[in-house]
Chains A and B, each alone.
Chain A
């Protein structure tokens, strides 16, 4: 059985998972923190 497709698949799964986690966590953090700061500056 050829090995390369399995290696590529395993590393891709990990890469996609990490990318999704990072992007979603970062965006949630940035959006909420920006909003919280905005609201604080309002009278």
Chain B
């Protein structure tokens, strides 16, 4: 892991990886959305609104996965002082928050015709909303860090503590009598028919690759800002 601690080495890898992840991700995500929109059968009870699953589930996965990324990067930052870890955690925050918001909104849109409501305060929906607020808190703390590219320890600690919400989201449909149905895809298998499962997997893969590309772009921006910062300081000293 420390092989990539060197920003120069990281950039040598990140520069070609960014467009590769982006275009492959875009291809898969767009393909899965078209597949999902035009080539899946109508669902028994929900009818055509089942198609919303192809944007709702990937955004839920990335909203939660993003916070796990922040938590792991924050841990690496605090324990091993890895110079890129704080930058990575910070780069994940805005895409993660956006996906959490997309998840909440598409879920709300899906809930109206199927459940009969835009919103209920059940365990799953509430804990997902809390995740969105945690992202906002993290972004505020990280942006208040004193140095460019250097994420404060307060933000890192917040990132790690906030991770307790992830298992709560995951278990919420079991712990509380909830409006949201229980998990469809578990380690034991899936109760989603193959006709929906195949494009769903492609959508999750595609959006994940796009997420990776976005994080790399943001890390590269932060590293460049750091270089500008250092250069300006040197010029000021002369």
Residues of chain A touching chain B, judged by Cβ–Cβ distance below 8 Å, are 1, 3-4, 6-7, 9-11, 13-14, 17-18, 20-22, 25-26, 28-29, 31-33, 35-36, 39-40
Contact = CB atoms under 8 A, between A and B. Distances in A.
Interface of B: 22, 29, 33, 37, 47-49, 51-52, 55-56, 59, 94-95, 98-99, 101-102, 105-106, 109-110, 112-113, 210, 214, 217-218, 220-222, 224-225, 227-228, 231-232
Given A7-B51, A9-B109, A14 B102 contact: yes
Those 9 A-B pairs whose CB atoms lie nearest each other, nearest first: A32-B224, A14-B55, A25-B217, A36-B224, A29-B221, A28-B221, A36-B227, A10-B106, A29-B217
A18 B103 CA distance: 12
Given A6-B109, A10-B109, A29 B220 contact: yes
Contacts of B22: 22
Chain A interface main SS type:
helix
Contacts of A36: 224-225, 227-228, 231
Contacts of B221: 25, 28-29, 31-33
A41 to B, nearest CB: 11
B106 A3 contact: no
B105 A18 contact: no
B225 A32 contact: yes
Given A32-B228, A40-B231, 7 more contacts: A13-B109, A14-B55, A21-B95, A28-B221, A32-B220, A39-B227, A39-B232
24 contacts: A3-B48, A3-B49, A6-B110, A10-B55, A10-B56, A10-B106, A13-B102, A14-B55, A14-B59, A17-B101, A18-B210, A21-B94, A21-B95, A21-B214, A22-B22, A22-B214, A25-B218, A32-B222, A32-B228, A33-B220, A36-B224, A36-B228, A39-B228, A39-B232
